[in-house]
Amino acid sequence: MNKQELPRGWDEEKIRDVIDHYETQTEDEEAEEIEAALKQEGITMIAVPNPLVDKVRELIAREQGA
């Protein structure tokens, strides 16, 4: 089995914390989180067709690394 590379600054504990956050989140908490994200300045929320998600992520990573 190949070992996956984690994003810079991430480790297994952080991944488990994120999973726990979303698995224990109530529907109200989820809605509040979405609403807060939609109100952030400098952020645009768009729908991306599933087959393009990996390419969009690669583009974002490349732009952030520039």
Domain boundaries, the chain: 12-65
- Banded pLDDT at 1 (limits 50, 70, 90): low
Environment class of 22 (CB within 10 Å of its CB; exposed 0-12, middle 13-18, buried 19+): exposed
Report the distance separating Cα 63 and Cα 55, nearest Å.
Answer: 12
The residue among 4 and 14 whose pLDDT is bigger is 14
pTM of the entire predicted model: 0.55
pLDDT band for 64, please (50, 70, 90 cuts): confident
The C-alpha atoms of residue 23 and residue 2 are separated, in whole angstroms, by 26
Farthest-apart Cα atoms in the chain, separation: 41
pLDDT tens digits, 7-34: 888 999 999 999 999 999 999 999 999 9
pLDDT of residue 43: 86
